[in-house]
């Protein structure tokens, strides 16, 4: 199967990414055993994936609600022409923010952020509005999280089923 989006990746790379997307702490020997390869081969492929920037980092999934971050907000922003990246970069520095996106449609940017209180959310929205380059915002509160995150393993399986 050819993967046009990952021209330098082969099937072993994709299989390694699938394993790591489920368990970022998987050891070389575990991945090697699972894929029927040697640990040296796995290490070589992982090194290449890291050097090329395909693997950006290794992390954990945190249950933010259990830590008191029960409010998730989606904030749409309209920004004056020519200042979009400046405003987005400034907003991205806020530690409550976990996503900043350029979007199409009625708004210019979409912000995803978590908060412990309505007061924190209100303060952030007011700070955004204080910018002379922000023309308006529209804030949504997430009521229930049905799915959050994605798995490369699931994407890869979907691609394999297409062929």
CA 52 – CA 140 distance, rounded (Å): 37
Q: Write out the two tokens for 36.
A: 């029927």
Point out which residues pair with 79 in neighbouring strands: 134
Q: CB of 1 within 8 A of CB of 20? A: no
The b-or-e profile of 2-14 (16+ CB within 10 A means b, else e) is eeeeeeebeebbb
CA 149 – CA 88 distance, rounded (Å): 22
CA 156 – CA 18 distance, rounded (Å): 7
Instruction: Give mean pLDDT, residues 66-92.
Output: 96
DSSP state, 98?
A: E
Q: Answer yes or no: is pLDDT of 1 > 60.
A: no
pLDDT of residue 81: 83
Instruction: Answer yes or no: pTM beyond 0.85.
Output: no
Instruction: Give mean pLDDT, residues 50-72.
Output: 93
Mean pLDDT estimate for the chain: 91
Residue-range domains of the chain with CATH: 11-59 (1.10.10.10), 64-141 (3.30.70.920)
Point out which residues pair with 115 in neighbouring strands: 71
């Amino acid at each position: 199967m050819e993967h046009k989006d990952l021209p330098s990746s082969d099937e072993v790379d994709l299989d390694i990414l699938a394993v790591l997307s489920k368990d970022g702490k998987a050891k070389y020997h575990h991945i090697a055993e699972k894929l029927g390869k040697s640990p040296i081969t796995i290490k070589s492929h992982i090194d290449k994936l890291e050097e090329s920037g395909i693997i950006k980092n290794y992390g954990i999934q945190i249950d933010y609600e259990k830590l008191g971050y029960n409010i998730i907000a989606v904030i749409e922003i309209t920004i004056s022409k020519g200042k979009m990246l400046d405003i987005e970069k400034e907003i991205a520095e806020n530690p409550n923010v976990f996503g900043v996106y350029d979007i199409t449609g009625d708004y210019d940017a979409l912000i995803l952020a978590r908060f412990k209180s309505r007061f924190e959310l209100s303060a952030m929205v007011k700070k955004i509005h204080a910018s002379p380059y922000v023309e308006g915002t529209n804030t949504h509160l997430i009521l229930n999280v049905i799915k959050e995150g994605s798995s490369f393993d699931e994407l890869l399986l979907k691609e394999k089923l297409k062929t």
